[in-house]
Amino acid sequence: MSINRKVLLKGLQRSLGFQSIFTLDSAWTEAGRYYPICKPKDSELHWCTQRRRGSSISEVSEALKQPSGQQDFFKLLGIDVETFDLDQQDIERKYKKLQTVYHPDRFANASEEEKAFSEEASSLVNSAYSTLKSPLDRAIYLLGRRGIGTNEEKEGIDDPAFLMEVMEAREEIEDLDEPEDLQSLKLQYLRKQSGIIQDLSAAFANGQLEAANEAKIRLRYVIRILQAIDDKL
C-alpha cells in the first residue's frame, strides 16, 4: 500500500514530538523503524508498541513506569536472554541506537514535558549500559534479581588464604615505588581478574548462584587492588 510521504511526516511529528527536528527524508527513514503511526497517549510521549523485531524503544517507556531498581536492563537494551556472557560490541551498538533516539540534544526544541522524558529515558539507558558492560556490575545485577548478595556491607568470604593474599597485596602496593614493579603486579592481578570472570561465567551457566556470588566477591576485591595500583602509578 502506498503511503503519502507528507502525511507520514505529519503523523510522525505528532506521534514522536519532533515537530522542528524531523525533515521529510528523516521521517521516511524513521518510518522504517517505528510503525504504525501512533498518537500521543495521555500526557506522556508515547512510542509505537508495534515495532520491528529487536527494537527496544517501547521497553524504555515501560521501564520508566517501574520503580527504581526493578527495571529489566536486558529487555531495555533489546537483549533477549538474561545471561552473564554478553557481546560487548553488541551492547554498545544497542546503547548507541537508543541514545540516538533519547539523547536530550534531540529534544532541544521539544516541550518541557518531552525534555524531561528524554532526560529520564537517557539516564535510564545510561544506567542499563554501564551496568551490563561491567562484569562485576552485571554479576551484581543478575544475582540481585535473584535475591542473592543484595547487602554488600554484610557480604564476606570464607577463605582465609584469599583474604591474606589481599592484605599482602595491599602492603606490597604501599611498599612499591618503581612503576615497573607496579606494572608487573598489575599484570598479575589482571590475570586473576580474567580467571575470576571465567569462573563467574561457568557458575552462571551451570546455575550455581552461590558459587557465582562468591566469585563476584572475589572479583570485587581484585578490582579494588587494581584500582589501588592505578592510584599509585
Dump pLDDT digits (tens) for 48-105: 333 333 344 556 666 666 656 678 899 888 898 899 999 999 999 999 988 888 788 8
Same domain, 34 and 129: yes
Of the candidates 144, 119, 125, the residue with the CA atom closest to the CA atom of residue 69: 144
Q: Which residues form the domain of 195?
A: 155-232
Domain-embedded: residue 51: yes
The residue ranking higher by pLDDT, 64 or 150, is 150
Same domain, 90 and 187: no
Same domain, 129 and 168: no
Domain-embedded: residue 140: no
Domain-embedded: residue 125: yes
Most confident of the ranges 23-27, 149-153, 160-164: 160-164
Mean pLDDT across the stretch 3-27?
43
- Give the pLDDT score at 35: 36
Of the candidates 161, 167, 172, the residue with the CA atom closest to the CA atom of residue 229: 172
Is the pLDDT confidence value at 32 over 60? no
| DSSP secondary structure string for all residues of 31-98 | HTTB-S----BTTB----SSB-TT--HHHHHHHHTSPTT---HHHHTT-SS--S---HHHHHHHHHHH
What domain count does the chain have?
2
Same domain, 183 and 215: yes
- Give the pLDDT score at 231: 94
**Per-chain mean pLDDT for the chain:** 77
Residue with cell 517501547: 58
As a whole number of angstroms, the distance between CA 136 and CA 74 comes to: 16
As a whole number of angstroms, the distance between CA 112 and CA 36 comes to: 26
Same domain, 90 and 181: no
Contact 41, 31 (CB under 8 A): no
Same domain, 121 and 173: no
How many other C-beta atoms lie within 10 A of the C-beta of residue 200?
26
Is the pLDDT confidence value at 190 over 90? yes
How many other C-beta atoms lie within 10 A of the C-beta of residue 67?
6
Same domain, 164 and 115: no
Domain-embedded: residue 207: yes
User: How far, in Å, are 29, 78, 91, 100, 178 from residue 94 at the CA level?
Assistant: 18, 7, 5, 10, 42
Percent of the chain with pLDDT over 70: 69
Q: Phi and psi dihedrals of 41, rounded to 5?
A: -110, 120
Same domain, 188 and 106: no
